[in-house]
Amino acid sequence: MKRLILSQLIFSLSVMALFSQQPEKNWELSTTESGTKEYIARDYIKLKPGFTYKAIGENTFTAKIDEYLVFPPKDSTYILPDQSITTDPLTGAVVGAIPSGLHVSQGNAIYNIPIDVPAGINGLQPSISLDYNSNGGFGTAGYKFNLNGISVISRTAHNLHYDNNYHPISFDGDDRFALDGSRLMLLEGSYGANNASYAFEVEDYSRIHSYGNIGDGPEWFQLETKDGLKYEYGRTNDSRLVLQNSNGVLSWFLSKIIDQYGNYIQFNYGTASDGNIWISSIEYGGNQNTGSNPSCLIEFDYYTNSDLNISYNLMPSYIAGSKITFGKFLKQISIKSNAQLLSTYNLEYENTYLKKVIKKNANAEMLPPIEFSWGNSFPANSSTIELIDGKSIITGDFTGDGKDEIAKLSNDGNRLIIEKLNDDTWSEIESVSLEGQHTKIINIGDVNGDGVDDIIGIRQYQVNLLNRSQWCIINGNNLVKLTGYITGDLIGLPLTGVFLEDGRKSVMIIDKIFSSITRACLFRNGTLQTLSFNDGLSLASIEDCGVGDFNGDGKSDILVKTSDQIKFYSISGLTLNHQSTIDLSMSEFYVQDFNNDGIDDILVTDNNRIHYLQNYRLTGDTGSVPDITDGSHIYGSHRSLVYGVQFSPYDNAHEVEKRTFMLNNMLVRPILQLLILIPILMDTLDFLNG
């Protein structure tokens, strides 16, 4: 009986071949063959006229393609990083490069390194990559790097667009779900209930169903595409992320993909009680209808903090009172077929910054690695920008073209001027005459929803020895004088946020008329409206105030600072509703979501310590972080000079990333181009491939 085995890729477990040719780029066979033969090529194997083979006894003929074969140039042509030549394949690299690409998505710089994997049956194989995102946080592969291709369904908060209300993640049966950021829209049944049906807002004819019950939500989900592919999320215990103190599952990770013929991909995870979850392996090439086991395996190995000599704790996140920590860094990706190693990707770090990606074949021969150089400043050849003549200089998109301009007051305060930068020189593009002498302008964001940043102009004067401030809103060439006026001095800066259920931005201010008379006001629709506190707070005790989302519902809340406490309020109608009081004494503070969990935190500059919040209450704090008020970083003593500060994603960090800050009364926003001034400690990333 003839046993002729010819295939593009044969998964064979036999190691008993009596004859095996050295792998070559290609083979062309045109003679009579006998005995047991095995031919391996990278590109192709051709059986030409004259080729014959007859199997006798247990002899076999095998021809297979291995697309991962690397053929280094001969005569000692392995290359070292210094471009010299070596004969050692373990220290030098072969000619070529690791595939990668750079593109821009939604304004973010994305650098992508696809992971090469063997083809699956019927084209069913995983698609994974290492991705850098310039606007990313902390990921599996370090700062701003993540492993892409691991899909997940997660809980998400309500928002005005989808739900016409605000509601944080609460594990109360009223949470919503999103698949890789796309909201699941209910079609049939009750949201989160067994056998409920969902679709996406942008119709792709996929259908998602939730099944079973754990706590207040589903046990698992299944998505079925119009092509008949079935994606199971959270079907296995290891693919569900369940937090401590939570009533249900937070995230359902992709556990299996099955095509209509029974071919499948299985995703396996590791979990820990501290809220950490990681992909451990991916298996594919099996068929559940025939019972055949997977032939291809992708394994993921990780560093721990101690492996990288990281002695401090990574910044935790908090969801509904439960803590999520980070502590694993991707070390190696191994690709195997029939238990035989095909290739590896090895990652090297400096601290938590990815420094190098090395790809090797089964013989440990490597391509030139991709190397990353992290910096914190613009190049030394940055150009000098013309000085700006004027006062109260701010930046923003005041024309609606998607780019930032500057706005300033003329030196006499009677004119508002908008300028843009052309070849290192400022040119005027708009101007507005103002009524009376103005002393300050403030960017309050797009309050009226027309896509253009609005400006508040302030004119100060006295009536009967009382200080008064007349305000106007400036939008392009339109100037709207606000009804009412501010008497006395402002406490802190005007606070801009989405305070009410209608989702529109408003401006809140607190002004002090005398030492014992204070009032809180809200600017809406050009009218100044007085607010009241439902807890009877003595407004005279207010020393400062801030704004942030302190419970994760998407609405803006108010932080009020007294001498030894901070109080949190939400606004409903014209009432400030007290939510909680914390005994915390501080002089100056910054509000920002430092740990990227969707809830704003507080940085107290007295001791440079970040206090994490969850539902208006403290959940913990960091050790000491760098002093961002130090004169070598920024100038000015008031936090208003810092519009945004982003720390490295770990405690006791030695580096601070300043995304937006004010320097000598000039706002600097470092983006992918030079604006106004050279920023200090800005993240830059250079990469070398081959």
Question: pLDDT (tens digit, 9 = 90+) per residue, 69-99?
Answer: 766 655 556 666 666 666 666 666 665 678 8
Domain annotation covers residue 57: yes
**Domain final position from 446, 463, 481:** 481
Which residues in 338-363 are b (16+ Cβ under 10 Å) and which e?
A: eeebbbbbbbebebbbbbebbbbbbe
**pLDDT of res. 427:** 85
pLDDT (mean) for 38-65: 89
Kindly indicate the confidence band of residue 304, based on its pLDDT and cuts at 50, 70 and 90. Answer: confident
Say if residues 656 and 626 touch (Cβ distance below 8 Å). yes
Q: Which of 67, 100, 118 is the last residue of a domain?
A: 67
Q: Does the structure show a pLDDT above 50 at 24? A: yes
Residue 437 lies in domain: 396-481
For residue range 487-544, list pLDDT tens digits in order. 555 666 678 888 877 777 778 877 665 555 566 777 666 667 788 888 888 777 888 8
Residue 273: inside a domain: no
- Counts for the chain of helices (H) and strands (E), in that order: 1, 58
User: Does residue 16 form part of some domain?
Assistant: yes
Residue 568 pLDDT > 80, yes or no? yes
In a domain, 223, yes or no: no
In terms of pLDDT, which residue wins out, 86 or 288?
A: 288
Q: Residue 10: what pLDDT? A: 33
Distance CA 495, CA 522 (A): 9
Helix H segments across 152-223? 160-163
Phi then psi for residue 239, to 5 deg, are -95, 10
Pick from 299, 300, 367, 366: nearest CA to 339: 299
> Residue 72 corresponds to which tokens in the numbers above?
């280094």
Q: For residue 82, what pLDDT is reported?
A: 64
* Minimum mean pLDDT range among 108-112, 244-248, 254-258, 356-360: 244-248
Residue that has been written with the tokens 């519902």 in this structure: 553
Contacts of 18 (CB under 8 A, 6+ apart): 35, 36, 59
pLDDT computed for residue 145 by the predictor: 92
656-690 CB burial, b ≥16 within 10 A, e <16: bbbbbbbbeebbbebeeebbbbbbbbbbebeeebe
Give residue 412's Cα distance to chain centre. 45
Is the pLDDT at 486 greater than 50, yes or no? Answer: yes
Q: Do the beta carbons of residue 556 and residue 497 sit within 8 Å?
A: yes
Residue 115 forms part of a structural domain: no
Per the listing, tokens 């580096």 go with 655
Q: How many structural domains comprise the chain?
A: 2
- What the block records as the tokens of 313 is 């704790």
* pLDDT, position 614: 66
> pLDDT confidence of 149, banded at 50, 70, 90?
very high
Domain end, chosen from 481, 499, 523, is at 481
Closest CA to 135 of 164, 171, 107, 156: 107
Q: What is the pTM of this model?
A: 0.66
Token pair in block for residue 419 = 């300028």
Tokens matching residue 331: 């070390």
Question: Hey, is 241 helix, strand or coil?
Answer: strand
At 173-229, the pLDDT tens digits run: 999 999 999 999 999 999 999 999 999 998 889 999 999 999 999 999 999 999 999
DSSP string, 398-445: SSSSSS-EEEEE-TTSSEEEEEEEETTEEEEEEEEE-SS-EEEEEEEE
Report the candidate in 268, 301, 310 with the shortest Cα–Cα distance to residue 143: 310
Residue 50 lies inside a defined structural domain of this protein = yes
Lowest mean pLDDT among 267-281, 479-493, 562-576: 479-493
Residue 138 scores a pLDDT above 90: no
Residue 412 lies in a domain: yes
Residue listed under structure tokens 């509904």: 320
Q: Which range, 11-25, 58-72, 379-393, is most confident?
A: 58-72
**What is the structure's pLDDT at 8?**
34
Taking the C-alpha atoms of residue 614 and residue 593, their distance in angstroms, rounded to an integer, is 11
Residue 607 belongs to a domain: no
Mean pLDDT of 627-637: 36
| Residue 543: predicted pLDDT | 83
DSSP-assigned beta bridge partners for residue 540: none
Residue appearing with tokens 């190098």 = 356
Closest listed residue to residue 458, CA positions, set 428, 435, 475, 431: 435
Q: Tokens 């102009």, residue?
A: 457
